[in-house]
Structure 1
Amino acid sequence: MSALPTPAREAPETRTPAVIRWLVLATFIVILNETVMINAIPRLMADFGVTARSAQWLSTAFMLTMAAVIPTTGWFLQRVSTRTAFATAMGVFASGTLLATLAPTFEVLLAARIVQAGGTAVMMPLLMTTLMTVVPEHDRGRVMGNVTLAISVAPALGPAVSGVLLQLGSWRLIFAVVLPIALAVMVFGMSRLENVGEPQPGAIDWTSVVLAAFGFGGLVYGLSQFGTGDLSTPLLIVGFGVAAIVTFVLRQLRLQRSGTPLLDLRTLTHTIYRRSLLLMSVAFMAMLGSMILLPLYLQDLRGLSPLETGLLVMPGGLAMGLLGPQVGRVFDRLGGRPLVVPGSIGIMVSLVVLTQVSLTTPYAVLLGAHMLLMVSLAGLFTPVFTLGLGAVPMHLYSHASSLLGTLQQVAAAFGTALVVTVMSSRAAQLAGSGADGAEAMLGGLRWAFWVGAALSLVVVVLALRLPGRLPVAVEESEPEPEPCEDLAA
């Protein structure tokens, strides 16, 4: 049997391992860039003379690259050392950031965003895999709470950060500020990081790489095209993506018997992991859908600037990050149910409140609803991440992390496509019935928020099925697969 990572034997209960602290900081920096371009679109349209749809590709291409690359990280992280993976991810990300800072044309800036995303795609699976390896089970909740800062708060703060920087100067400032921070994290991180475990030999299956890229990338791209008017092309692309993913899955199942799979799907034989994966996916749909809708409402209907919009949603993101470690400590003491069930109900309540928005809704109500949403998500994410990844054996951690990251991208794209399509369709229907532009858009937004509320009801049901703690310790050796009778549960 190939060498397995060796867990830390004496990880202090009250102190996060240094390797995790550096990986959390690096992950925060790179994930922040996933949403940082949202507020810069109008400025880029003017500077480069491109349409809104073309400028939106700076975010779409980033998400597409993430969806295509993350499935390969399970294989990659088992083949290289921790230091090599960290240096590769940060080096690629820093190169893309430098290219973006100096980009003379829109095409170069788009290429730079793709390079940035290639480095970002490695960081979250690397962080999750290392955490599950070096942190003992009894302390994982607290440490996972710190990780929430990187994987959940960074996307929420991206628009606020870019709004402040755009107020101060050119869009290039967004990248110019991030570049020295990324380089400093890479240099200091490499001087302090230690390797965790030993790399395992194994050749890569390039057919699987191509299928993953076309499958997950095609699915995310197709979903991102909904709401643009024509439905036939997005449906065709989504169908192509689904067909490629089915072929990818069948190939992984065959490689699990005769070779080295790119993404080991034996993670899905563990019931708690499956349920956690489904719960996280639906929660991300609801979260990303609201992140798209609320700025549209605040800017297009209430007349707020991008900076004002960013400042209004910033308290929720900050509260989410500050509560992460406290949520982790509660999880270590009491288990997941006292957090997951109230958190799922809080998500539903906040989205129901947002279905009642009007042209005169007090900003205090909007701030309160958004804060409740973010705090509830903080109570949900940490326990679900910890329970889900803890349910698989150690040698599958990297594959479980990769699958989780991949489905987050797909869920984000699906959630965005769903709410935008519902909003656009309802607004067009109301406009055709004689409603003015503002009333039509408001009606569309309300329906879209109801979609988020419906998704949150699914989150509540799934939360009630998740256990408070892992029933038994997962053995380090190859486990007997659990029955898959509730794969769709």
Structure 2
Amino acid sequence: MSAELSAPASGGRTPTVIRVLVLATFVVILNETIMINAIPRLMEDLHITERAAQWVSTAFMLTMAAVIPTTGWFLQRVSTRRAYTVAMGVFIAGTVLSSVAPSFAVLLLGRIVQAGGTAVMMPLLMTTLMTVVHEHDRGRVMGNVTLAISVAPAMGPVISGLVLQVGSWRWLFWLVLPIAGVITWLGLRQLENVGEPQAGAIDPLSVVLAALGFGGLVFGLSRFTADELAGPALIVAVGAALIAAFVFRQLSLQRSGTPLLDLRVLLAGTYTKALVLMSVAFMAMLGSMILLPLYLQNLRGLSPLATGLLVMPGGLAMGLLGPTVGRLFDRFGGRVLVIPGSIAIAVALAGFTQISLTMPYWQLVGLHVLLMVSLAATFTPVFTLGLGALPMQLYSHGSSMLGTLQQVAAAFGTALVVTVMSARSSDLVAKGTDAITAHLDGMRLAFLVSAVLAIVVIVMAVLLPGRAADHQEVDESDAAAPELVKG
């Protein structure tokens, strides 16, 4: 999907193409977290262990990490309608397969296919938004995108909890299927192509290196526990080596103008700073999203449904505030939102280090809402600033890299807090501390690690400019050049 367009028009309502893509993205992202509460039911119905059942979520994340690096190339080679058709068609096929799965292996395959479609949707939405929406309106429209991508993961466990109260885990797919079908039909009726596809052959070696490198890295990170370090560390090292080979391959291909993932996006200082900020913030956020349910269910005795309802206000607040944050960004720029937002993220995570067995639930909800609202104030400007610092023809590659690092950051953040928590708990139990106190202390330390990570977010927030135009390091000629230039 090339960006050879005239300048997008400013003002007016959100373009129809964006509305359709936001709706579709909401539905597909919802499925990333919708199976979390179904683990016990899957263990019973399919006669599998808990570790095996966790793969319905792990496989989704692994596939996203493996496929997203290829989307920058893909979106430049097909029309908007073709990319949408492929993404939703693959997602629906995976949903059908999962809903009728006679065994766990088939269910896992269905989830992998689902994730393949989901991996295309987010870069497609971001690339199209940056192409058709004028710079002065991007904050407002990006705020609507934030609503979709933040509310969907928060609603997944709540919806699955409600469904599982009255029906089978298969209903989680049967309910999504007609909604996805209607959205696909509406999209094909209303979507118009943006730009013209470019010619260019895909490099098979790059695809293999990206899939094995990023997929292996996320897989290795997902296997870390306090008792199992050597094996996952080896997998992570192999994944990192393959990613290094992938990077060298892309640098070589940039001389011929056909990289799978164009690394010239990193020459834009604003984009790179936004990438670091977003990645570290995602680590902190995903770490807290893992720790809080563990605390509420394992130490406070809440059901999965009650846990989902307790954290739902934070997700809703983050999403509903998105459009307001976007309008403020359009008016005042990013710094007035990102700097206070990053500080508030650190404050909220520091507050979670004080959890106890008697902390009032309203305090927990308040801290979680503060965290989610602060993330909303940060993510919308950061996405807009980062991608806005790139020339139009690099939007798809910039979106692809953002999506890829989100998956890696999510896996790293989860592995980090779980390993810290488990190691601290095991150490205290070995010294004679009772299991509950040890587990609680391990969680406090893990939250402290997340709070320390948030300090990096604050530093990067201070370094970001108010608007992308204030500090753009990659211009049209740089992006079009066959060689990787130095900025």
Q: Distance in 2 between matches of 1:111 and 1:403?
A: 25
Query: In the TM superposition, what whole-angstrom CA distance separates every residue of 1:66-115 from its partner, at most 9, and x where no partner exists?
Result: 00000000000000000000010001001101111111111110000000
**482 and 249 in structure 1: CA distance in 2 versus 1, 3 angstrom threshold:** closer
Q: Distance in 2 between matches of 1:300 and 1:4?
A: 50
Equivalent residue letter for 1:387: L
TM-score with structure 1 length normalisation? 0.96
1:5 equivalent in alignment to 2:4: yes
**Paired positions, count:** 482
Structure 2 residue aligned with 1:121: 119
169-178 or 372-381, which deviates more: 169-178
**366 and 7 in structure 1: CA distance in 2 versus 1, 3 angstrom threshold:** farther
| 1:380 to partner: Cα distance | 0.2
Q: Distance in 1 between matches of 2:171 and 2:226?
A: 31
2:129 paired residue among 112, 128, 131? 131
In structure 1, the gaps of 5 or more residues are 485-489
Structure 2 residue aligned with 1:29: 27
Query: In the TM superposition, what whole-angstrom CA distance separates every residue of 1:26-51 from its partner, at most 9, and x where no partner exists?
Result: 01111111111111111111111111
Equivalent residue letter for 1:10: A
CA contact (8 A) 1:422 1:448 kept: yes
Query: In the TM superposition, what whole-angstrom CA distance separates every residue of 1:329-348 from its partner, at most 9, and x where no partner exists?
Result: 00000000110011101111
Equivalent residue letter for 1:375: V
Structure 2 residue aligned with 1:218: 216
Q: Distance in 2 between matches of 1:482 and 1:469?
A: 24
**Over 6 Å off, 4+ runs:** none
Structure 2 residue aligned with 1:104: 102
Equivalent residue letter for 1:421: T
Q: Distance in 1 between matches of 2:459 and 2:190?
A: 43
1:141 equivalent in alignment to 2:139: yes
Q: Distance in 2 between matches of 1:389 and 1:117?
A: 24
Equivalent residue letter for 1:409: Q
Equivalent residue letter for 2:31: N
CA contact (8 A) 1:223 1:417 kept: yes
Structure 2 residue aligned with 1:355: 353
Give the match's secondary structure for 1:110: helix
Query: In the TM superposition, what whole-angstrom CA distance separates every residue of 1:367-403 from its partner, at most 9, and x where no partner exists?
Result: 0000000000000000000000000100000000000
Structure 2 residue aligned with 1:439: 437
Give the match's secondary structure for 2:33: coil
Q: Distance in 2 between matches of 1:261 and 1:118?
A: 21
Q: Distance in 2 between matches of 1:464 and 1:409?
A: 25
| 1:476 to partner: Cα distance | 4.5
Q: Distance in 2 between matches of 1:360 and 1:164?
A: 27
Q: Distance in 1 between matches of 2:445 and 2:392?
A: 43
1:197-276 pair list within 5 angstroms: 197-227=195-225, 229-276=227-274
CA contact (8 A) 1:28 1:151 kept: yes
TM-score with structure 2 length normalisation? 0.97
**7 and 70 in structure 1: CA distance in 2 versus 1, 3 angstrom threshold:** farther
CA contact (8 A) 1:272 1:466 kept: yes
Structure 2 residue aligned with 1:487: none
**259 and 334 in structure 1: CA distance in 2 versus 1, 3 angstrom threshold:** closer
Query: In the TM superposition, what whole-angstrom CA distance separates every residue of 1:124-170 from its partner, at most 9, and x where no partner exists?
Result: 00000000000010100000000102222222222122111111211
CA contact (8 A) 2:283 2:413 kept: yes
**223 and 7 in structure 1: CA distance in 2 versus 1, 3 angstrom threshold:** farther
Query: In the TM superposition, what whole-angstrom CA distance separates every residue of 1:346-379 from its partner, at most 9, and x where no partner exists?
Result: 1111111100000111000000000000000000
284-293 or 159-168, which deviates more: 159-168
| 1:243 to partner: Cα distance | 0.4
Give the match's secondary structure for 2:259: coil
152-161 or 387-396, which deviates more: 152-161
226-235 or 322-331, which deviates more: 226-235
1:396 paired residue among 389, 394, 397? 394
1:57 paired residue among 49, 55, 58? 55
Equivalent residue letter for 2:233: L
Structure 1 residue aligned with 2:72: 74
* CA RMSD of superposed structures (Å): 1.5
CA contact (8 A) 1:5 1:133 kept: no
Identity %: 69
1:86-105 pair list within 5 angstroms: 86-105=84-103
| 1:3 to partner: Cα distance | 6.1
